[in-house]
Structure 1
Amino acid sequence: MSDPITHSPENPAETMRDVMLDIGYHEQIDTPPGHDLTKAHLITLPQKRTVQDLTSHHRAAAEYLKPARRKGTARVADLASLISWTNRFKGETSMLFASPDMAKPTLTCIADYHAAGAANVEDVTGDPSARHCHHRAVYDFPLSDEWKAWMAISGKAQSKDDMGEFIEAQAKDILDPTPAVLKGEVTTKNQPWENRLIETAQKIEGRFGQLKQLLAMSRQFQVFETSDLKVATNRDTGEAEIQFLNEHKDATGQKLNIPNLIIIAIPVFLGGAPYRMAVRSRYRKNGSSVAFIMSIYTPEKVFEAAFKEAVAAATEATGLTALMGTPET
């Protein structure tokens, strides 16, 4: 008769140990060699073997002491600061973007802009010319107080008193016309800006006045209107045409002949050089009241000249190309 088979009793402690090891077991999948942050770092977790992505944790740990790349937007206060920032961080792919918005002009430098050339969409590792475009500096051109004041009233009707108060407040911006401008002849002896203003007056049939004339108008200006009846008869048909011819006169009965142009010299941007511009002055009679309308002549051309001058200074100082418009968001 053979001996009975005997089994050694199980050790509960060892069994519990094995169970806990099995529960806590995890498997690492595709571990990036050398902590390659361009690849995902995946592991399986014991709960139903759930896959957990630890890539963000690895990247956060790697960037704890040093960021992997530059990012952020700097807001600089003047053009010189934008130029200094650009020269500090620019590279072969850096680019300037100039937005010529008359209300909110800006100049932006993207230090890590995309490289030139067509995109490579077939490269499985990604387009080698693509960049994040996350490292930027923006300069918001501050419009001068004078520019904002004149643009605010340009083309809008004002009462006689309101016009007078505005003219007194902005008297420092108004220039009296030079003898050459008053003479109204374009010659080679004149300054270029004088010829430009003379040509403007000729285009709109205007005449330049002085500051004291504007102030006198705002204080004493009165308009008297007379109407004459004109009847024209066609002898062949017998038809008659009746017209009322209105004429504005001053308090003494003389025909009004007032200057309708003034010269202002104001900077477009805060701290910038002043630009001479023509302002057209008109009046409109409505019953017993008179409304004045002052309109800057072609302000967009002056703004364009000042903006392009600033952009040209930035491109020359940084050696970068400037594109008109706004960059990709």
Structure 2
Amino acid sequence: MEQNVITEVVNTIVAALQKPVEVISDMDDHDIKRVALPPGWILQERDDIKLKAIPQRKTGQVILNDAESFIDYINRHKLDNSTTLYCQTNYEKGDVNFIVVFNDHIGMATGQQWRDHLASFEPGKSIEWERWAKNDREVMTQREFALFIEDNLRDIATVEGMPTGQQLLEMALSFEANQDMRFKSAIRLQNGGVQMSFVQDDDSATLAKMQLFDKISIGIPVFWNGDAYRIDARLRYRARDSKLVFWYELIRPDKVIEDATKVLINTIKEKTEVFFYFGDPSL
């Protein structure tokens, strides 16, 4: 009889040891459990939150493609005293990036948050800006320069003291007409322009003249679907083997990007009314 009792006790102990040991963490609703399983008795974590119909809180990261969508998304999910907008810029490189942290830390001793619900927005440059920036300081032949001016004539702004689009078109057409002629000389005029002389290679008595402007003014949007901004450019030329090459130099494009970015920042701040900082949230 005693042997049977001892055997039963031993079997009970062995059976108990073969069962998993469950440790419930100190969390709301006991959603996360830690379980030790034989034979190695390694502690494993079981997240039952994922089995719920909805998560306990919002998490994730969304990438928005335009300012309007970014603003609407912020207003849809923002939290009082918590949602924070950050902006990182490098105007010289043309980089602008926004990150909003919806559950950011609150400015109080017990205001810590998880900072894991995010949205980002990197304003894309307009096609016009990309085109003019790409060809900035790129040397072109007479024909290449003429075609570039013709293709982008609508970007030329009408500014007092600067050539109009029609004047630039006439200049471009003159370039095409004179591309097979030999460059002879250039005279700077009182209005800041340059008058160039060309001669036929086989007839030095034939002389053609045209005027080159030393500056132009461009009116183009910096960001896609944004407002247009004025940016001036210097026109440059150089004679190579009696042939001319041309290029233009955008004047301080970084300042134009900075102005456009400040307008965008003010628009986002006014329409969302969230905390704003220049910097990196360092998530």
TM-score of the two chains, using structure 1 as the length reference:
0.68
Q: In structure 1, which of residues 317, 323, 326 is the aligned counterpart of residue 271 of structure 2?
A: 317
1:64: how far off? Answer: 1.8
Structure 2 equivalent of residue 201 of structure 1? none
Structure 2 equivalent of residue 298 of structure 1? 252
Please give the alpha-carbon distance, in whole angstroms, between the structure 1 residues aligned to 2:63 and 2:241: 53
In our comparison, the structure showing a higher alpha carbon Rg is 1
Structure 2 equivalent of residue 211 of structure 1? 168
Q: Deviations over 1:249-302 (max 9, x none)?
A: 544779986321112211111111111221210101122221101111111111
Q: In structure 1, which of residues 139, 144, 155 is the aligned counterpart of residue 137 of structure 2?
A: 155
Question: Residues 311 and 322 of structure 1 are in contact (CA less than 8 Å); yes or no, is this contact kept in structure 2?
Answer: no
Indicate whether 1:62 and 2:49 are aligned. yes
Q: Secondary structure at the match of 1:105?
A: strand
Please give the alpha-carbon distance, in whole angstroms, between the structure 2 residues aligned to 1:265 and 1:297: 13
Structure 1 equivalent of residue 226 of structure 2? 272
How high is the sequence identity, in percent, across the aligned residues?
21
Please give the alpha-carbon distance, in whole angstroms, between the structure 2 residues aligned to 1:105 and 1:141: 7
Alignment of 1:1-329 (within 5 A): 10=4, 14=8, 17-18=11-12, 20-25=14-19, 27-29=21-23, 32=26, 35-36=29-30, 41-42=33-34, 44-47=36-39, 50=41, 52-54=43-45, 57=46, 60-65=47-52, 66-91=54-79, 92-101=81-90, 102-116=93-107, 128-177=110-159, 181-182=160-161, 208=163, 210-221=167-178, 222-225=182-185, 249-251=197-199, 258-329=212-283
Please give the alpha-carbon distance, in whole angstroms, between the structure 2 residues aligned to 1:113 and 1:42: 29
Question: Residues 113 and 131 of structure 1 are in contact (CA less than 8 Å); yes or no, is this contact kept in structure 2?
Answer: yes
1:225: how far off? Answer: 4.7
Q: Secondary structure at the match of 2:154?
A: helix
1:43: how far off? Answer: 5.1
Please give the alpha-carbon distance, in whole angstroms, between the structure 1 residues aligned to 2:28 and 2:234: 73
Alpha-carbon spacing, 1:296–1:13, altered in 2? closer, same or farther (3 Å): same
Question: Residues 171 and 211 of structure 2 are in contact (CA less than 8 Å); yes or no, is this contact kept in structure 1?
Answer: no
1:13: how far off? Answer: 8.8
Structure 1 portions without partners, runs of 5+: 1-6, 121-127, 183-206, 227-246
Alpha-carbon spacing, 1:146–1:20, altered in 2? closer, same or farther (3 Å): same
TM-score of the two chains, using structure 2 as the length reference:
0.77
Please give the alpha-carbon distance, in whole angstroms, between the structure 2 residues aligned to 1:290 and 1:33: 77
Structure 2 portions without partners, runs of 5+: 187-194, 200-205
Alpha-carbon spacing, 1:14–1:268, altered in 2? closer, same or farther (3 Å): same
Deviates more, 1:146-155 or 1:248-257: 248-257
Please give the alpha-carbon distance, in whole angstroms, between the structure 2 residues aligned to 1:321 and 1:15: 66
Question: Residues 154 and 295 of structure 1 are in contact (CA less than 8 Å); yes or no, is this contact kept in structure 2?
Answer: yes
1:83: how far off? Answer: 1.0
